[in-house]
Amino acid sequence: MKKTMFALAVASALTAHAAMAEDMVFTSWGGTTQDAQAANWAQPFTEKTGTGVMQDGPTDYGKIKAMVEAGAVTWDVVDAEFDWALQAGKQGLLEPLDFTVIDKAKLDPRFVSDYAVGSFYYSFVLGWNPANFSDAQPATLADLFDTTKFPGKRTFYKWSAPGVIEAALLADGVAPDALYPLDLDRAFAKLDTIKSDIIWWEGGAQSQQLLASGEAPIGFFWNGRLAALQADGMRVGISWDQNITAADALVVPKGTAHKDAAMKFIAQATSAEGQAAFAAATGYAPVNLGSADLMDPAVRATLPDAQTAVQVNADMAYWAEHRDEIGNRWYAWQAQ
Amino acid sequence: MLSATSGGRGSGLGFAMPAILLLLAFFVIPVAFLLMRSVTEPAPGLQNYATLLGSTTYAKIFFNTFFVAGVVTAITVLIAFPVAWALAIMPARWSAVIFAVILLSMWTNLLARTYAWMVLLQQTGLINRMLKAIGLIDQPLQLTNNLIGVTIGMVYIMLPFMILPLLGVIRKIDPAILQAAALCGATRAQALRRVLLPLAGPGLASGGLMVFVMSLGYFVTPSLLGGTANMMLAELIAQQVQSLVNWGMGGAAAFVLLVVTLGLYAVQLRFFDQAEAR
Q: Do both A258 and A109 map to the same domain?
A: yes
Residue A92, chain B, CB below 8 Å: the answer is: no
Closest CA to A95 of A118, A121, A73: A73
B123 with A215: Cβ contact below 8 A: yes
Alpha carbon distance B74, B68 (integer Å):
10
Q: Which amino acid is at A321?
A: E
Q: Do both A136 and A239 map to the same domain?
A: yes
Q: Do both A181 and A301 map to the same domain?
A: no
Domain enclosing residue A270, as ranges: 2-120+247-310
* Tens digit of each residue's pLDDT (9 = 90 or more) over A18-50: 444 469 999 999 888 899 999 999 999 999 999
For the domain that residue B139 is a member of, what is the CATH number? Answer: 1.10.3720.10
Reported as a pLDDT band with limits 50, 70 and 90, residue A273 is: very high
The answer to whether A219 and A156 are in contact (CB under 8 A) is yes
Q: Do both A224 and A93 map to the same domain?
A: no
Highest mean pLDDT among A103-107, A226-230, B199-203: A103-107
The answer to whether A240 and A307 are in contact (CB under 8 A) is yes
Reported as a pLDDT band with limits 50, 70 and 90, residue B274 is: low
Domain enclosing residue B150, as ranges: 45-277
A4 pLDDT higher than 50 = no
Mutation test of the interface with chain A: which of B146, B230, B243, choosing the one with the most A Cβ atoms within 10 A?
Answer: B243
pTM of the shown model? 0.81
The number of domains in chain A is: 2
Higher pLDDT, B148 or B191: B148
Query: Who contacts A145 (Cβ-Cβ below 8 Å, separation ≥6)?
Result: A168, A171, A172, A190, A193, A194
Q: Do both A187 and A293 map to the same domain?
A: no
| Sequence-ordered strand ranges (E) for chain A | 24-27, 53-56, 77-81, 117-128, 154-157, 198-201, 218-222, 237-251, 311-313
Residue B239 within any structural domain of the chain:
yes
Residue of B nearest to A88 (CA): B245
Least confident span in A279-283, A309-313, B196-200 = B196-200
**What whole-number percentage of chain A has pLDDT above 70?**
93
Residue A328, chain B, CB below 8 Å: the answer is: yes
Phi, psi for residue A301 in degrees, rounded to 5:
-60, -20
All residues of chain B having their beta carbon less than 8 Å from the beta carbon of residue A323 are 244
Residue B35 within any structural domain of the chain:
no
Alpha carbon distance B3, B91 (integer Å):
44
A327 with B231: Cβ contact below 8 A: no
Give, in order, the Cα–Cα distances in Å from A116 to each of A68, A99, A110, A112.
16, 11, 11, 6
The answer to whether A120 and A286 are in contact (CB under 8 A) is yes
pLDDT at A249: 97
The answer to whether A137 and A235 are in contact (CB under 8 A) is no
Instruction: Tell me what ipTM this predicted complex has.
Output: 0.74
A109 pLDDT higher than 80 = yes
Residue of A nearest to B251 (CA): A62
Closest CA to B249 of A209, A122, A332: A332
The answer to whether B241 and A62 are in contact (CB under 8 A) is yes
All residues of chain B having their beta carbon less than 8 Å from the beta carbon of residue A199 are 145, 227
Mapped onto helix, strand or coil, the DSSP state of residue A313 is: strand
* Tens digit of each residue's pLDDT (9 = 90 or more) over B34-83: 999 999 988 898 999 998 888 888 888 999 999 999 999 999 999 999 99
Residue B170 within any structural domain of the chain:
yes
Q: Do both A186 and A317 map to the same domain?
A: yes
Residue B4 within any structural domain of the chain:
no
Q: Do both A235 and A100 map to the same domain?
A: no
Closest CA to A77 of A275, A250, A269: A250
CA-based nearest distance B172→chain A, Å: 45
Q: Do both A10 and A156 map to the same domain?
A: no
Query: Who contacts B94 (Cβ-Cβ below 8 Å, separation ≥6)?
Result: none
Residue B36 within any structural domain of the chain:
no
Closest CA to A218 of A132, A307, A134, A149: A132
Give, in order, the Cα–Cα distances in Å from A46 to each of A23, A25, A41, A225, A269.
9, 12, 9, 28, 12
B14 pLDDT higher than 60 = yes
Q: Taking residues A140-165, what's their average pLDDT?
A: 95
CA-based nearest distance B1→chain A, Å: 30
Mapped onto helix, strand or coil, the DSSP state of residue B196 is: helix
Alpha carbon distance A147, A124 (integer Å):
20
Residue B14 within any structural domain of the chain:
no
Residue A57, chain B, CB below 8 Å: the answer is: no
Residue B14, chain A, CB below 8 Å: the answer is: no
Residue B186 within any structural domain of the chain:
yes
**What whole-number percentage of chain A has pLDDT above 90?**
82
Q: Do both A62 and A21 map to the same domain?
A: yes
A60 with B242: Cβ contact below 8 A: yes
Q: Do both A251 and A288 map to the same domain?
A: yes
Q: Do both A74 and A30 map to the same domain?
A: yes
The answer to whether A295 and A284 are in contact (CB under 8 A) is no
Mapped onto helix, strand or coil, the DSSP state of residue A248 is: strand
For the domain that residue A277 is a member of, what is the CATH number? Answer: 3.40.190.10
B6 pLDDT higher than 80 = no
Q: Do both A64 and A175 map to the same domain?
A: no
The number of domains in chain B is: 1
